[in-house]
Amino acid sequence: MRLSEIARARAFAAVAALAAYAEVLRAHGWPRDDRWLILEHPLLRAGLPGARELLTSGYVQPLMGASTPIQEWRPVLSLSFLLQRLTTGFAPFPLHAVNLALHIAVAVLVFECLRARFPVRAAAAGAALYAVLPVHAEVVAYLTSRSEELAALSALGAWRLLGAPAKPGPRRIAAGALIYAAGGLSKESALLFPLFLMLADWTLEGKVPWSRERRRVHLAMAAAAALVLAGRVAVLPALAAGGVPYFAGTPALSRLLTLAKFWTWSYARPAMLSVGLCADFSRPLIADARPDDLVAWACLLTLTAVFSLAVRAAARRQEWGFWLIGPCLFLLPTSQLLMNLDVIGAQRFLYLPALALAAAAAALFARAETRAPRAARAGAAGLLLALGARAAVRAADWRDAQAYDRAAVACNPVAAKARAALGLDAIRAGREAEGETLLTAARNLEPDLYEANYNLARLDYGRGDQTAARPLLDAALRARPDATDALTLSALLEERAGRLGASLELLARAAAADPDDATARYDLARALARVGRTAEARAQLRAYLRLSPDDAGARAWLAALGNGDAR
């Protein structure tokens, strides 16, 4: 095949990805996770002084404290954000440009992987379809979903380097192992790549991991996985934890039926038909399936039959079995089958599994083109244009926090957290009355919701209504006893009431619960200085300046404390 034709096919996949998702470059706000995991991340804001702790602590630990129920270690992902913080600050355009560039790179890698098994034009069609799938909007447009892109780059890149029938040399094996490890340090699902590679070796080439020509490759994968897992053990208090279980107390049969229904309706349907796209599946949107739910049983039996046939096909070395099972392996860590998670699922988890759709599209195009070339190309072009337009519209839901939260409420009207976030958006925009109404509505949906109670308490505190703020704040602390924001606000309430000792105790608790909370450090320094504990105040102020090095006023205060001025 002429190089120029391959180059044109690569460019076609890249242009398709760019055209569908160029909309993300217009984003200017900070939707939910992007705000607290990037813009407000204390160690990212600290810059280089916070780099060591950023890379050697849990992904959310600096924000939620050591007691967080979510245990993830993603230093490569964090490093990517840190490098951008150091070079372009928190400007949205460069951050989104990198996400878009990564998606383009993934689309080109999808083409490279497909062209090893399909004709070039068919591989280009499959890669272009992958590039414009609207279900990928949550990955490309949501900065914190960069983890999915890095995991996909890792898996596809390592496969190109290490996949059979090639017999890679030591340098190629080392490069593949390094790329694989980088993926595992970006997103946990990437750690399953060795299983994907084993299945590909067997189904596509008839090779087994212990064969002479493949043994070194799989030993290198095992060594890389062991190193990543050892790092997680050293850094995290638990090897893996996905938050407060979504299915806490749900019987096993009901759980399985609910998942089957969710996978069919909220994964397969949106991926294949681009309908039902949603970024929020929090309770109580999806009711737990009962044993007499016939639709859930139909979903479960259909999925069981399809994957049983695929397993049988893969065992017999029929390619379609690999293309269905292999990409779906990466769903296992987030499937609720291996570990409990705090969400039933998310459509961003379909980023790598969508490789199955790309392969199916390539196979269908190859068959259609042999029979009716013009009709096949015209049909493919029309489909790509329609999907690309849908992807651009969907990507606009991430242009700012308010657009995202409105979309979340639209697809999940009973999501209390999304409604509370929309209320907070209104408050940030200066529409306090509207924000309070939305927060109250969120609290009515879920009376124990931390975000609603805390932010309503903060509004009452700002108005000087301590009587109204106190019960709301108590409710927030019942939901999250170690929440530094609520502890700090409670301390300020105690200070207003003249109970300085109680205020100091609460601030100390807040700083201990999350040592990287700059506000807690500053308020603790202020409280210590107020009661004459100057040396301790200086220590807290130094800790604050490590997190907020650009605060000139705090530096001047630190110097004044050194001169004996405690004001």
Give the separation between CA 259 and CA 352, rounded to whole angstroms.
19
Residues 494 and 391 occupy one common structural domain? no
Q: Six-digit token pair at 512?
A: 């201990």
Instruction: Provide the pLDDT confidence category of residue 338 given band limits of 50, 70 and 90.
Output: confident
Within 8 A by CB and 6+ apart from 412, the residues are 278, 280, 281, 282, 285, 418
CB of 102 within 8 A of CB of 182?
A: no
In a domain, 173, yes or no: yes
Q: What are the CA-CA distances from residue 149 to residues 104, 263, 270, 350, 519 (Å)?
A: 10, 21, 19, 11, 33
Give the separation between CA 311 and CA 293, rounded to whole angstroms.
27
Average pLDDT estimate for 450-470: 95
Give the separation between CA 253 and CA 186, rounded to whole angstroms.
33
* Residue ending a domain, choose from 364, 396, 428: 396
CB of 450 within 8 A of CB of 476?
A: yes
Residues 135 and 265 occupy one common structural domain? yes
In a domain, 542, yes or no: yes
Give the separation between CA 408 and CA 416, rounded to whole angstroms.
10
Average pLDDT estimate for 537-552: 90
Task: Tell me the residue range of the domain where 46 lies.
Answer: 3-396
Q: Give the domain CATH number at 555.
A: 1.25.40.10
| pLDDT reading at 418 higher than 80 | yes
Structure confidence at residue 167 (pLDDT): 80
- Judged on CB neighbours under 10 Å (0-12, 13-18, 19+), 354 is buried
**Helix or strand holding residue 70 (H, E):** strand 70-71
Q: Six-digit token pair at 387?
A: 């999907």
Q: What percent of the chain has pLDDT over 90?
A: 85
**What's the predicted TM-score (pTM) here?**
0.94
Q: What percent of the chain has pLDDT over 70?
A: 98
- Residues 290-320 have pLDDT tens digits of 999 999 999 999 999 999 999 999 999 999 9
Give the separation between CA 6 and CA 121, rounded to whole angstroms.
9
Within 8 A by CB and 6+ apart from 298, the residues are none
| pLDDT reading at 134 higher than 70 | yes
Give the separation between CA 474 and CA 459, rounded to whole angstroms.
15
CB of 164 within 8 A of CB of 114?
A: no
Write the DSSP symbol of residue 289: P
Give the separation between CA 148 and CA 167, rounded to whole angstroms.
29
| pLDDT reading at 564 higher than 70 | no
In a domain, 402, yes or no: no
Angle among Cα 532, 535, 536 to the nearest 5 degrees reads 85
Residue 44: alpha-carbon gap to chain centroid? 17
Q: Six-digit token pair at 492?
A: 């300020």
Residues 176 and 63 occupy one common structural domain? yes
In a domain, 356, yes or no: yes
Residues 352 and 488 occupy one common structural domain? no
In a domain, 419, yes or no: no
In a domain, 427, yes or no: no
Residues 344 and 196 occupy one common structural domain? yes
Residues 392 and 487 occupy one common structural domain? no
| Domain count of the fold of the chain | 2
Residues 391 and 492 occupy one common structural domain? no
Residues 383 and 281 occupy one common structural domain? yes
In a domain, 408, yes or no: no
Torsion angle, alpha carbons of 402, 40, 535, 527, to 10: 10
* Residue ending a domain, choose from 396, 412, 429: 396
Strand partners, 27: none
Task: For residue 294, report the phi and psi dihedrals to the nearest 5 degrees.
Answer: -65, -35
At 303, the amino acid letter reads L
At 527, the amino acid letter reads A
* Residue ending a domain, choose from 396, 412, 431: 396
Q: Tell me the pLDDT of the chain averaged across its residues.
A: 94
DSSP 3-state of 237: coil
Structure confidence at residue 259 (pLDDT): 97
Residues 77 and 201 occupy one common structural domain? yes
- Residues 525-538 have pLDDT tens digits of 999 998 889 999 99
Give the separation between CA 454 and CA 392, rounded to whole angstroms.
35
- Residues 429-452 have pLDDT tens digits of 999 999 999 999 999 999 999 999
Average pLDDT estimate for 270-285: 94
Residues 516 and 383 occupy one common structural domain? no
Residues 128 and 245 occupy one common structural domain? yes
Of the two residues 115 and 60, the one the predictor is more confident about is: 115
- Residues 347-365 have pLDDT tens digits of 999 999 999 999 999 999 9
In a domain, 306, yes or no: yes
At 244, the amino acid letter reads V
DSSP 3-state of 492: helix
Q: Six-digit token pair at 171?
A: 């340098």
Structure confidence at residue 207 (pLDDT): 93
Residues 392 and 489 occupy one common structural domain? no
Instruction: Provide the pLDDT confidence category of residue 66 given band limits of 50, 70 and 90.
Output: low
Closest CA to 450 of 394, 410, 392, 489: 489
- Residues 216-264 have pLDDT tens digits of 999 999 999 999 999 999 998 887 765 678 998 899 999 999 999 999 9
